[in-house]
Structure formats: structure tokens, C-alpha cells
Structure 1
Amino acid sequence: MRLELPDIGLGTSGMTGDECVESVRTALETGFRHVDTAQMYDNEPAVGAGIRLADVDRDDVVLASKVHPDNLAYEDVKRTAKESLVRLGVDELDMLYVHWPTSGYDAEETLRAMDELYEEGVMRNLCVSNFTPELLDEALDLLDAGIAAHQVECHPLLPQDELRAYALEHGHTLVGYCPLGQGKIFDQPELQEVAHRHSTSPAAVCVAWAVEKEGLVPIPKASSEEHLEANWEATTLDLSEEDMATIDGIETERRLVDPDAAAWNQ
């Protein structure tokens, strides 16, 4: 059964300390109910603090973290996942990802540890991130728990049609990071055209486009109350078939996160 996630989540990469605490608290009190972090982000304590400070029931929050690419050996996966629980101040994670399938990734050992963590109740949903279709095939063959979600960079200039189709076929959710293209794609003429039609911003168009896509959940990063509210409100922007066709017709492809630099082949 496909994991049912809120239409939008909060990404926290690059945020630490009080900024992260306040961003998480404000996001939850704005209406967000899905918060994404990672061991690599070095902000799990701040994320946990933000959740505790928010006037929101913890049971209503979907909390996700990811195993650091340096921690993919069997024993390291088991140990560090439980350390993440301590840092976050929670008894279990709603989602736990394998962050990057780097050179330290051994499918049999890494995924065996993840399966055991699932059985132990450390996470409710076993997830992966930045996998290729071939790696997804291998993982699905090895895992008992299956894959609940796959997280990748996804925005109008990198729509990830193949991976979204794969997710729909195999029953997991595609979670999209960098859905605003880090602000570097807002000058794309098609996005500006659609934004002009609706008297809104290219950022709002990017969020609405992702929300409209079946099986895709965007997790934009934002720290200010203004940007959090804008992203939240963008989920209600009603794009027409013409709007979607205009955006889907973008021929330029742009990847913003370099897999080699980010961890793919470390």
C-alpha cells in the first residue's frame, strides 16, 4: 500500500541551531505535518526541539531522517539509526532512508540492517534516496519490508518522469527535494508565463506543479515565516491542464545537486 504523505513537507538541509528550531516550529504551526532531516545535515537535535516546541501533537507529524553515507555498513546502520532517535528525542521514526548509495553501500548488508530496524520498530517506513532504477530493482529483491518512499532531486527542470513512473508502478511515493530549484530556475520563461497567468511567483508555480503530479511530494526548504506561509499557500494554487502542459514542455534539463560531489561515488 502506498505511503500516504501530506501534499508538502519541510526540508531542513543547511539549517542548524536556533534557525532550524524556529523553522520547524513555525512550519508545523503553519500547517506542515511532514519534516525531513538527515544525519548528514547535523541538525537532528534542532529538528526534534522544533517539533517539541510546536503546538502540534507529535502523532500528527511525519518525521523522516536518513542514514549518513559514511554509516552504511551493517553495524553502523543499526547503531547510528538508534542514535538518531536519541538526538531527535523520539521513540521511532516515521521514515528512515538510506541517504546515498555510495561506495560504502553494500545492498545485502545495508538493506539487511534496514530490514531489521524495521522489524525492531525503529522506523515505520523503510525508504531510500538517490537510487537508480537498477538499484531500486536490487533493493526490492532483497528487502522484506519493501520501499515506502524514494527521495530524489525533482523540479520542473528535472521532473524525474522515469523514477515517478517507477514509483507509481511499484507502489511507493516519490519525495522531491529542491522542488524550487534552489531559486536558480525562476527565470525559466515557461515558469514565468504560468506565474503571470495566476499573478503569483515562479516559486508558487513550482510547488503547485509538484503537488499536481500523482505520487510526488515536494519538501521545499524554508526558514522565514513569510516563505513557509508562501509554500503552504502554494499547495492550493490550481494549475490548469494548459499550465501543466506549459511546464511539462520545458526542454531544458538542469540538475542542481551533483551526485559525485554530494556523495554518490565517495
Structure 2
Amino acid sequence: MQQITVDGTTVPALGFGTSGMDTDDERYRAVSAALDAGYRHVDTAQMYESESAVGDAMGDSGIDREEVFVTTKLLGENRAHDAVIESTRDSLDRLDTEYVDLLLIHSPDQEVAHEETLDAMNELVEEGTVENIGVSNFSVEETRAAIEHSDAPILTNQVEYNVHERRDDLLSLCLDEDVMLTAYSPLGVGDCLDNEVVTGIADDHDKTAAQVAIRWLLQQPLVSPIPMSSNPEHVRANADVFDFELTDDEMRDLFAIGGDLDDDLAGKLGL
């Protein structure tokens, strides 16, 4: 499995998302299928109500805890200092683990100042129950402010990112600051799969459109896609993306779907 190294922390580049599933049984089966398919990076959140299923699936998988990189996120109402501490301990109980690899602020649109939340998250890093911290859905300015305030490095900003939904300014900042960009909805809730450019490149490589869309993300430095599916066949297919490579021309064609690529960012991407 391809890895991303951020400030000395190694993260499996391809992750598995767990949002949008309706029942614990569906979540458990999906995560179990993902672990069986070779995923070793699992994304959950207090809001998704999938932490227990993730913990159960990991426990039943027989895979050593240290081999799976687990991310969870704070619910909006758990942003105040004490709520950060208490809710994270609850998350650990649900996940049946002594630590999480990554804890994120789920959304910037809350009443509690980011600084208060980050200070509490830093305390959890110091005590060892959280290995790394980050943010989600933060703007460029909010991400920069979090980097400047936090003693612990901001490992990632998790945002929607796909061929239709580009994040050029944010990606440029991440590359400059050594921050991973975690890409949720890497298939655009499926709307990337009907694009003629994507399907044409997929045909050329004898791959699916989904595999091409995921591969496009994986070939960008510091980008980690986290596709989600409860269909075991799709789960396995989305992981089968390491036996082919997109050319620079194909990468540029896929970027062009979302508009012109800034010359400065193109240079940082080697395109």
C-alpha cells in the first residue's frame, strides 16, 4: 500500500470512509470488507455513529491495532475544552482502543473558538491518547491559523476533493506547509464516473472510472483519498488502484475537468 509521510508520521495513502451508512450491521460489514481488501486507514467520526462498528470490525479482523491508522472527528457540540477531552474518551471506548491515530475538528462553523479546541486536542496528544491532530472543512485562512496556533503539527485538512471539486489554493498551502489533504467524496457522490474524460482514460487502462478518479488523487503529493462504499465488490475495486499509473498528459486532462490549473501549482505537482 502506498504511504504518505507528513512531518515524520506515515499514513496509508488510500483510506476507507464510513459516512452515510444507515445501520451498525452495514457499517461493520463495510469496514470488515475494507480491512479484508487491504485498507489500513479507516476514517470515522462521532457524527457518523460508526465508531463502534469500526472498533468491532478491527477487533474481529485479527489485524494488529498498530497496523491500522484510525481517524475520528469531534462532533460540533464537543468543541469546548472539557467536551473535547470527555467525548474523545467516549470515542476511544466505542472504538475499543487506547488511542486514535488522528483526531480532527469536524467543521469550522461552531461557536467555540478553534484555539480552545486545539488546546484541548494538544493536551490529548501530550497524554498519548491521540497521536496526531488536524482539521476538516477548513478554509485556507483557517488552516493557516490552526497551523500557527497549535503546538502539535496539523497533520491534515479533510475536505471534499475530486475532479469536479478542486481545492487548488488549499492544496498549494498543504504542499508548502507539509500538511496532508484528505479527500472525502473522491468520486463526487458518483458524478465523476460519467465524465467522458474519466471514462475514456479508464477504457485506455482497462480500469473503471472510479479507479481512475481515485488514482488521479493518489498521484498528487500529500493527497489521501478516502472512498466509501458498503458494496464489497466496490470496496475491493476501489483498492485495486496500484497496478497502473496515469501519464502526465492524463493527469492534466483530468485536472482540466475542473478548470485551468495554476502554473505555480502545476509546478509543485510536477505537471
What TM-score do you get using the length of structure 2 for normalisation?
Answer: 0.89
* Residue 121 (structure 2) aligns with: 114
Once residues 166 and 52 of structure 2 are traced to their aligned partners in structure 1, the CA distance between those partners, rounded to angstroms, is 32
In 2, Cα distance between equivalents of 1:108 and 1:57: 34
Residue matched to 1:36: 43
SS in 2 for 1:93: coil
Cα distance change, pair 193–105 in 1 and its aligned pair in 2 (3 A): farther
SS in 1 for 2:70: strand
The equivalent position to 2:100 in structure 1, one of 83, 93, 100, is 93
Partner SS, residue 144 of structure 1: coil
The one of 45, 56, 61 equivalent to 2:63 is 56
1:169-248 pair list within 5 angstroms: 169-248=176-255
> Corresponding residue for 1:3?
9
Q: CA deviation at 1:6?
A: 1.2
**Separation of aligned partners in 1, 2:185 and 2:8:** 22
Aligned partner of 1:134: which letter? E
The change in CA–CA distance for 1:50 and 1:192 in structure 2 (over 3 A counts) is same
Q: Give the gaps of 5 or more residues in structure 2.
A: 1-6, 261-271
CA distance in 2, matches of 1:2, 1:194: 35
Q: Which amino acid aligns with 2:173?
A: Y
Note if 1:250 corresponds to 2:257. yes
- Give the drift of 1:2: 5.1
Give CA-to-partner distance per residue, 1:190-229, whole Å, 9 cap, x none: 1122112222221111111011111101000012221111
Please give the alpha-carbon distance, in whole angstroms, between the structure 2 residues aligned to 1:212 and 1:93: 27
For the residue of structure 2 that corresponds to 1:109, the secondary structure is helix
8 Å Cα contact 1:73-1:110 kept in structure 2:
yes
SS of the aligned residue for 1:127 comes to strand
- Does 2:111 correspond to 1:104? yes
| 8 Å contact kept, 2:51–2:94 | yes
Q: What is the CA distance between 1:252 and its match in structure 2?
A: 5.8
Deviations 1:116-163 (A, max 9, x none): 111111210111111111111211221111201111111111131221
Structure 2 residue aligned with 1:134: 141
Does residue 14 of the first structure (1) align with residue 11 of the second (2)?
no
- 2:184 partner amino acid: Y
Mapped to 2, the partners of 1:181 and 1:122 lie a distance apart of 33
Kept after mapping to 1: 8 A contact 2:166/2:258:
no
SS of match in other structure, 1:28: helix
1:101 Cα offset (Å): 0.9
Shift of 1:185: 2.2
Q: Please report the TM-score for the alignment, with normalisation by the length of structure 1.
A: 0.91
Deviations 1:207-265 (A, max 9, x none): 11011111101000012221111011123331111211110111469xxxxxxxxxxxx
Q: d(CA) in 2 for partners of 1:216 and 1:208?
A: 11
Deviations 1:18-69 (A, max 9, x none): 1111211121121110000000001111110011111311110001100011
Please give the per-residue CA displacement for 1:90-116, whole angstroms capped at 9, x wherever unaligned: 000000000001132312211111111
Gaps of 5+ in 1: 254-266
Segments ≥4 residues shifted beyond 6 Å: none
Give the Cα separation in 2 of the matches to 1:135 and 1:252: 24
Letter in structure 2 aligned against 1:47: V
1:23 aligns with 2:67: no
Q: Distance in 2 between matches of 1:105 and 1:179?
A: 30
> Does the 8 Å CA contact 1:107/1:139 hold for their aligned counterparts?
yes
Stretch of structure 1 that moved more, 15-24 or 216-225: 15-24
